[in-house]
């Protein structure tokens, strides 16, 4: 499974990805987690199983959700509190819930 975080590529997202990877490893979940700039959405839709958006790019929600829906890829905005506190466990759970 591949989880892709799309953002403006700040330090917070990179830290969040690392924390998510640690939680996944501790839970023995085989998952690939990456962060990419939001402008890469078309490329990421070809390989991602789920996409999470950084709260700072929520202004692009309508455009991005349309593209993801057309590609049949689950997409959601990362919980703002979890993003702000870089809560890797909560964000991983959010991604896993989208996969159901």
| Residues acting as catalytic residues | 7
Q: How far apart are CA 75 and CA 98, in angstroms?
A: 7
SS3 8: coil
Beta-sheet strand order (sheet of 32-37)? 32-37, 2-7, 50-53, 75-77
């Amino acid at each position: 499974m591949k989880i892709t975080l799309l953002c403006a590529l700040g330090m917070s997202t990179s830290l969040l990805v690392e924390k998510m990877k640690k939680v996944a490893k501790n839970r023995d979940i085989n998952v690939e987690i990456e962060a990419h700039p939001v402008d890469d959405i078309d490329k990421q839709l070809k390989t991602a199983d789920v996409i999470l958006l950084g709260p700072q790019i929520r202004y692009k929600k309508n455009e991005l959700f349309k593209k993801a829906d057309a590609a049949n890829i689950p997409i959601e905005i990362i919980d703002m509190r979890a993003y702000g506190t870089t809560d890797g466990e909560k964000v991983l759970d959010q991604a896993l819930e989208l996969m159901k």
